[in-house]
Structure 1
Amino acid sequence: MNDPRPLRDLQGEPITLEEGRIAPQEVKPRRRFPWSAVICTALVLLVAAGWWIRPQESAAPTGRRSFTGPIPVATATAQTGALPVTLTALGTVTPLTTVTVRTQISGRLTNIYFKEGQEVKAGDPLAQVDPRPYEAALKQAQGQLARDQAQLRNAQLDLARSQTLVARNAASQQTVDTQTALVQQYQGTVEMDEAQVRTAELNLEYCHIVAPVSGRLGIRLVDVGNYVQGGDATGLVVITQMKPITVVFSLPEDVVPAVMRRLNSGTELAVSVYDRNRRAKIATGKLVTVDNQVDVTTGTVKLKAEFPNEDGSLFPNQFVNVDLLVNTLENIVVIPTAAVQRGVPGTYVYLVGADNAVSVRKVTLGPSANDKVAISEGLKPGDKVVVDGADRLREGSKITEPDAPGAQAAPARPQQEGPGEGARRAPPVRTP
């Protein structure tokens, strides 16, 4: 069956038949949309737009962004004053005396005369052991002493008679020598009896247990009615001396020579202690001694400070923070610690000029205390430095103080921290 419609190719163009073959017609090339050019153009536009809106980086030492217009900051003036040189350490409260009260004899505990937590003085009665067996032992020793003393007197009389008879040639010298030896024997026996009597008296005295030192009593360790012995490890109660009390702390061996020079000069070094979180000051005392050797495992030396502790605020084995005042520097340049910056130049500050333009000034730090730091080199009294808002400054930036007339707050912009920003914000280390 013949189809009168012409044959067409895939693109819809007609084709002809020649000698039984299909002769393709000339196919025109198809145009494609230039997507690659569009994509390249869009990327170029995006890069150009990003470069246009990107803020210019400042040439400040720490790589901060620059701001246009005066930047509101807080400033402070370098002043001449005194700065304490303080060494900090960790310490432990240690009592001067800690005594575990134990019985020196064996027996039944019949009475307890103290209350737990009571303040006692040396010699105050604490407890009593049943004294009846020791009273009987004392009477027995006293009776034996009386018997031997009578025998000694009789032997001495016999010796005197023998010596008289020998003088009259009525007795031999041997009798006198024998009687003399017997007298010496009884003298030794009497001395032994006297020692036994004294021992019995001491045992009877030990039945009444008294406080060996003054201090504060702890919790009772033995109840009435228990049988106690001299070798008991627990004891009856523990007495701890609370007034005065000491704090033992350690310092690096490098700073000990400075402390020793101050002590050898006769200066009394003040010591302050704070609680575990360093939020509250507990007590103030003085340094009393320095150990005689360095701990080779830690490279530190132990020191001991004494505190009156009249209010009982310091407790034995308490963990405290210690501040040792070594010296006080007079007539030095002092600025707030917050003004010190750290970066490529080292330690520096932003110095405010007469035209309210800041400049980077490198400084040499000294000791620091109470949010103040001493400046050894770089500043003079009266210089004004930036203490707040320095993260937005660069060399030559114009500043304004919010409290000044006509000052306006700058709009908040994102900040970019340069390398080592965290280290720059760290406070300076205290040095003696």
Structure 2
Amino acid sequence: MKKIFKILLVVVFIALLGFSGKYLIDSNSKSPIIFTTEKAFKTSIEEKTVATGKVIPEDEVEIKPQVSGIIEKIYVKEGDAIKTGDLIAKVKVVPNEQALNSARGRVQNAQISLANAQQDFNRNKALFDKGVISTQDFQNVKLRYDQAEQEVKNARNDLQIIRQGSTGGAQAITNVRASVAGTILEIPVEKGDQVIQSNNFNDGTTVATIADLTKMIFEGKVDEAEVSKLKINMPLKVSLGAIRDKEFDAKLKFIAPKGNEEQGAVQFKIEGEVFLDDSYFVRAGYSANASIVLDTKNDILAIKEALLQFDKDTEDPYVEVKIGDQEFKRKDIEIGLSDGINVEILSGLTEEDEIKVWNKTEPIKKEPETAQD
């Protein structure tokens, strides 16, 4: 038994030696990675930021009725171009019961005051004709009478306005007209809808929204890290999601003095005047991106940003420079402007230095296909 056990040990040992030798041979047969190099070069770099937002009309006006009532008829539709004074809709006046009752009471009070003033006037006129009172006293009495007459007229006019919407028409209908020229963007009401006039306690019902689509602005947001680099009148390039392969020139005209926190980041609102092209019809509300050039440098020394490495402890940038055949040494550098592809070299490199392409990967080897039975 001992002899057989020794023989088995010898066989296992020989097998292990065979596997180890094969592993060493296979390991040594693998080709080492051959690192290539690249050199620094002169170029121009632009640092840009992109603000997302939309294009909206510079001036947008909401048309509201002067009286409360029911929409009798609408004369325009969305997309129509209109001029100042054009008829938009007619509103059938439905008097407010509280206001109507108050107006009636005012008329009655005015009539009572007028009747009293008239009696006083008639009595004093008779005394004045007899020379009992002076001219000044009589004129004061006549003034009170005239004021009472005028108050009755005013109260009746107010009552008529509440009933009919105006003092001149016999029908309780009022017209809603455009206060500005432009394009009808939206008509949020329909025939038969009830509308409320604008007053101190209510904004009123919007009958139509009008805007001049020939004057558009870009409205977007930028991050707080970049807002300090923005200046009024900086040029923008605005691209619209609905119009491909076209960029519109724009000019920055507003930067919000206060930011708002959104999803953990502080965003600042910006606005830019967009210079439209007559060949394209730009609709209100198109989504848009504005490209803003924050800084530009020409004829500077740069390398591809992919060549950079960063120290694990200090996070300082460095590259590996060739000193011999497949031999490299670390070289700390100072970097500047970057556009995401190329980065400016402020110090640490020359155009003659050969920089290691450190992230080179080996090509994937294909497994040999096995013959199928």
What TM-score comes out, normalization by structure 2 length? 0.64
Query: For the structure 1 residues 51 and 195, does the alpha-carbon distance in structure 2 shift closer, same or farther, using more than 3 Å as the test?
Result: farther
Q: Secondary structure at the match of 2:271?
A: strand
Look up the match of 1:211: 178
The gaps in structure 1 that reach 5 residues or longer are 1-28, 59-64, 134-143, 394-410, 415-432
Q: Which one of the candidate residues 3, 17, 21 is aligned to 1:48?
A: 21
CA distance in structure 2 between the partners assigned to 1:91 and 1:55 by the alignment: 59
1:68-217 equivalences in 2 (<5 Å): 75=38, 78-81=41-44, 83-107=45-69, 109-129=71-91, 171-173=131-133, 177-187=137-147, 189-190=149-150, 193=153, 203=166, 207-217=174-184
Look up the match of 1:374: 344
Q: CA deviation at 1:324?
A: 2.2
AA of the residue aligned to 2:260? D
AA of the residue aligned to 1:326? L
Whether the aligned pair in 2 keeps the contact of 1:367 and 1:374 (CA below 8 Å) is yes
AA of the residue aligned to 1:78? F
Q: Which one of the candidate residues 278, 291, 302 is aligned to 1:323?
A: 291
Query: For the structure 1 residues 279 and 179, does the alpha-carbon distance in structure 2 shift closer, same or farther, using more than 3 Å as the test?
Result: closer
Whether the aligned pair in 1 keeps the contact of 2:125 and 2:138 (CA below 8 Å) is no
CA distance in structure 2 between the partners assigned to 1:279 and 1:336 by the alignment: 30
Whether the aligned pair in 2 keeps the contact of 1:276 and 1:320 (CA below 8 Å) is yes
The C-alpha deviation readout for 1:27-58, integer Å capped at 9, x for no partner, is: xx784162232222222322232223225999
Report % sequence identity. Answer: 19
Look up the match of 1:285: 250
Q: Secondary structure at the match of 1:286?
A: strand
Q: Secondary structure at the match of 2:260?
A: coil
Q: CA deviation at 1:172?
A: 1.9
The C-alpha deviation readout for 1:222-253, integer Å capped at 9, x for no partner, is: 444x2643359664333345343333333333
Whether the aligned pair in 2 keeps the contact of 1:222 and 1:236 (CA below 8 Å) is yes
Query: For the structure 1 residues 104 and 256, does the alpha-carbon distance in structure 2 shift closer, same or farther, using more than 3 Å as the test?
Result: same
Look up the match of 1:396: none
Query: For the structure 1 residues 352 and 105, does the alpha-carbon distance in structure 2 shift closer, same or farther, using more than 3 Å as the test?
Result: same
Q: CA deviation at 1:186?
A: 0.7
Query: For the structure 1 residues 174 and 46, does the alpha-carbon distance in structure 2 shift closer, same or farther, using more than 3 Å as the test?
Result: same
Look up the match of 1:4: none
Q: CA deviation at 1:309?
A: 4.2
Look up the match of 1:7: none
Query: For the structure 1 residues 112 and 412, does the alpha-carbon distance in structure 2 shift closer, same or farther, using more than 3 Å as the test?
Result: closer
Alignment length, in residue pairs?
A: 322
CA distance in structure 2 between the partners assigned to 1:351 and 1:281 by the alignment: 43
AA of the residue aligned to 1:270? P
**Which entry has the higher C-alpha Rg, 1 or 2?**
1
CA distance in structure 2 between the partners assigned to 1:48 and 1:220 by the alignment: 86
Q: CA deviation at 1:269?
A: 0.7
CA distance in structure 1 between the partners assigned to 2:345 and 2:50 by the alignment: 21
Look up the match of 1:271: 236
CA distance in structure 2 between the partners assigned to 1:242 and 1:298 by the alignment: 33
Query: For the structure 1 residues 54 and 356, does the alpha-carbon distance in structure 2 shift closer, same or farther, using more than 3 Å as the test?
Result: closer
Whether the aligned pair in 1 keeps the contact of 2:38 and 2:355 (CA below 8 Å) is yes
CA distance in structure 1 between the partners assigned to 2:305 and 2:284 by the alignment: 34
Q: Which has the higher strand share?
A: 2
Query: For the structure 1 residues 229 and 220, does the alpha-carbon distance in structure 2 shift closer, same or farther, using more than 3 Å as the test?
Result: closer
AA of the residue aligned to 1:271? L
Look up the match of 1:26: none
